[in-house]
Structure 1
Amino acid sequence: MKTVYKITLLFGFAMLIASCHNNKAPNYQYFPNMYESVGYETYSESKAFKNGKEGQLPVDGTINRGFETFEYANTTEDYNRSKIDLVSPLDSLDRNNGKGQELFDIYCISCHGASGNGKGKLVEREKFLGVPSYADREITEGSVFFVVTYGLNSMGSHANQLSAHERWLVADYVLKLKSQL
Structure 2
Amino acid sequence: MKGSMLVMNKLRIVSAAVITVAVAAGLSSCGNKKNPGLEFARNMYDPIAFNPDQPNDNFANGQTAQLPPEGTMPVGYDPVADAYPNTPEGYQAASANLKNPLPATQQNLSQGRTLYLHMCSHCHGTQGHGDGQIIKLEKFPPPPSYSTGNSSRGGAMKDLTDGKIFHTITYGLNLMGPHRTQLNPTERWKIVMYVHELQKLQ
SS at match of 1:136: coil
8 Å CA contact 1:111–1:128 kept in 2: the answer is no
Tell me the equivalent position of 1:81. 93
SS at match of 1:121: coil
Change in Cα spacing, 1:36 to 1:107, as seen in structure 2 (3 Å) is: closer
1:94-109 map, 5 Å: 97-109=109-121
**Is 1:69 matched up with 2:56?**
no
8 Å CA contact 1:84–1:142 kept in 2: the answer is yes
**Is 1:136 matched up with 2:149?**
yes
8 Å CA contact 1:94–1:169 kept in 2: the answer is no
Question: What per-residue deviation string (whole Å, max 9, x for no partner) do you get for residues 18-75 of structure 1?
Answer: xxxxxxxxxxxxxxxxx975946xx9x9666x9xxxx95967x974147331211110
Distance in 1, matches of 2:179 and 2:189, equals 12
Following superposition, the deviation at residue 130 of structure 1 comes to 3.9
Amino acid in the other structure paired with 2:121 = I
Distance in 1, matches of 2:163 and 2:145, equals 18
Is the deviation greater in 78-87 or in 158-167? 78-87
**Is 1:159 matched up with 2:172?**
no
Tell me the equivalent position of 1:170. 191
SS at match of 2:141: coil
Distance in 2, matches of 1:159 and 1:146, equals 10
Flag the structure with larger Rg: 1
Distance in 2, matches of 1:155 and 1:58, equals 36
Question: What per-residue deviation string (whole Å, max 9, x for no partner) do you get for residues 94-131 of structure 1?
Answer: 66541111000000000000111111110110232141
TM-score normalised by length of structure 1: 0.64
Distance in 1, matches of 2:42 and 2:97, equals 61
The counterpart of 1:118, out of the listed 130, 152, 164, is 130
1:43-62 map, 5 Å: none
Structure 2: gaps of 5 or more residues: 1-40, 151-155
- Aligned-residue CA RMSD in angstroms? 3.5
Tell me the equivalent position of 1:17. none
* Identity in percent: 33
8 Å CA contact 1:85–1:142 kept in 2: the answer is yes
Amino acid in the other structure paired with 1:109 = S
Distance in 1, matches of 2:144 and 2:103, equals 29
